[in-house]
Chains A and B, each alone.
Chain A
């Protein structure tokens, strides 16, 4: 299928937003979205890992398909993502300690972020080409960051509001996410084009 790059980008960023429409990466979305200043580094780190994972997955998929070892695809994806995260962590530690301190605590969490594995699996299932895959990963990460930022902004505001005890915590976050998701449904059809 030949979706144009802009279609993929807009579609994945808004209409099929990873968090709000596809339900990928909900754990960090609910866990790390309490404050704006942690949401941005988390989003950036995830986007970066997604791009790396997408790159690796593209190569691996080629390898696995060429040698007819499809049953090893999943296991090789997850191993490569885990290793990529470790590698990124080590490289950052050595060459950019400042960035490492900013992202450090989030990096290990990203291994079990289903949005990252989701990028790898969906790009394979949709048979995206190399550039399409990278666009997809970038849009997925940007969409994740966008959702995280929106949520964090809302939650910081809500800290100042008086909320009944019963509603506090995850229940409130989920209701907020539902409203955001409802809003994002309005973007459906953007990617349809003529």
Chain B
């Protein structure tokens, strides 16, 4: 190689030694930072998730994270199952199920709009939603969480399942402003139709996938909250819904996995800068 003949100044051994030294120093720094901040980061994420869920499910006091799979539901701490749909079960102080929250996403005007919506299993309706992340035009797209008439759509949005429990009886549909007739329709905001549709599509896509898996197993959630309300110390398997740094190395590795990090960190607040 020409480079080698042009610059014979430093022997390879010295280069490798230096690179090794630098790599060691850097490795130590990174691992120290990672270990040092892990607890705080996880506590932050847990707090952010709780704040987001409590906002859409008033009265909730604790949140557990689950996956709904064709084989039933399982706590998220046991790992990400193939084809599982993530959802959050919210319980009140006494440990009764207050509602279910799940994430949905729809293509908006500028970019994907990601939302967290609340599902009331008793009435089979969506009872509210919060924005997780969006880049819609300020002053237009952000009407989806400021416009009272639009938010009224989500007091009891019908998402009940069809008789065979395979899909929603009526798909959630966003209709033109002022033409809402049924409980499963969403009255779009005039002038922000695309963003309204993103919300509707986000709820519909997510509910179509999640609810058929979830509803047949609702009993289990009611009966067995993996709750801290009970006096039992949580077992490593599911106790904290995966948020606390468990002592075993294998489970401390869990948090920064991409799906998790994303869901967790994005939940912090509906993008401040978009609204401000």
Name A residues whose Cβ lies closer than 8 Å to a Cβ of B: 1, 3, 7, 11, 15-16, 61, 65, 68, 70-72, 75, 90, 124-125, 127, 188-189, 191-193
Contact A188 B107 (CB under 8 A): no
Among B31, B33, B108, B110, residue most surrounded by chain A Cβ atoms (within 10 Å): B110
Known: A65-B258, A127-B258, A189-B194. A16 touches B31 (CB 8 A): no
Contact between A1 and B112, CB atoms less than 8 A apart: yes
Name the contact of A71 in the complex, choosing from B30, B107, B194 (C-beta under 8 A): B30
Determine the interface band of chain B, counting residues with CB < 8 A from chain A: 20 to 34
Q: How far is the CA of A71 from the CA of B137 in the complex (A)?
A: 34
Q: Are A192 and B198 closer than 8 Å at their CB atoms?
A: yes
B107 with A192: CB separation less than 8 A: yes
- Chain B nearest CB, measured from A170 CB (Å): 26
B254 to chain A: closest CB distance in Å? 8
- Asked if B34 and A71 sit within 8 Å, CB to CB, the answer is yes
Is the pair A75, B258 in contact by a Cβ cutoff of 8 Å? no
Which partner residue on chain A sits nearest B114 by CB separation? A1
Question: Does B253 lie within 8 Å of A68, measured CB to CB?
Answer: yes
Which one of A7, A72, A125, A188 contacts B110 once the chains associate, using CB atoms below 8 Å?
A188
Contact of A192 (CB < 8 Å), options: B30, B33, B194, B250: B194
CB distance from B51 to the nearest CB of A (A): 22
Residues of A within 8 A of B110 (CB): 15-16, 188-189
- CB pair A192–B109 under 8 Å, yes or no, is yes
Is B26 part of the contact surface with A, judged by Cβ < 8 Å?
yes
Q: How far is the CB of A11 from chain B (nearest CB, A)?
A: 8
B31: chain A residues within 8 A (beta carbon): 71
User: Does B178 lie at the interface of the complex (its beta carbon under 8 Å from any beta carbon of A)?
Assistant: no
Please indicate the chain B residues that have their CB under 8 angstroms from the CB of A65 in the complex. 257-258
A interface, over-half SS: helix
Q: Which B residues lie at the A interface, using CB under 8 A?
A: 1, 26, 30-31, 33-34, 105, 107-112, 137, 194, 197-198, 250, 253-254, 256-259, 261-262
Q: For residue B34, which residues in chain A have a CB less than 8 angstroms away from its CB?
A: 71
**A182 CB to closest chain B CB, in angstroms?**
13
> Please, which residues of chain B bring their CB within 8 A of the CB of A75?
26, 30
Cα of A192 to Cα of B105 in the assembled complex, Å: 12
* Complex CA distance for A76 and B1, rounded to whole angstroms: 26
Taking a contact as CB atoms under 8 Å apart, the answer to whether B107 and A3 are in contact is yes
Q: B253: which A residues are within 8 A, CB to CB? A: 68, 70
Cβ of B137: which chain A residues have Cβ within 8 Å of it? 188
Our pick among B30, B198, B257, B262 for the contact of A125 (Cβ within 8 Å) is B262
In the assembled complex, the CB of A1 is this many whole angstroms from the nearest CB of chain B, namely 5
What would be 30 A-B contacts, judged by CB atoms less than 8 Å apart? A1-B105, A3-B107, A3-B112, A7-B107, A11-B111, A15-B110, A16-B110, A61-B258, A65-B257, A65-B258, A68-B253, A68-B254, A68-B257, A70-B253, A70-B256, A70-B258, A71-B30, A71-B33, A71-B34, A125-B258, A125-B262, A127-B262, A189-B109, A189-B110, A191-B107, A192-B107, A192-B109, A192-B197, A192-B198, A193-B107
B259 CB contact (under 8 Å) in A11, A15, A127:
A127
- Among candidates A7, A68, A124, A188, residue contacting B109 with C-beta atoms closer than 8 Å: A188
Closest to A79 in B: B23
Residue of B with least CB distance to A72: B30
Besides the contacts A1-B105, A70-B257, A188-B109, what 4 more A-B pairs have beta carbons closer than 8 Å?
A: A68-B253, A75-B26, A125-B262, A193-B107
Q: Please report the C-alpha to C-alpha distance between residue A70 and residue B38 in the assembled complex, in whole angstroms.
A: 12
If A16-B111, A71-B31 touch, does A124 touch B194 (CB 8 Å cutoff)? no
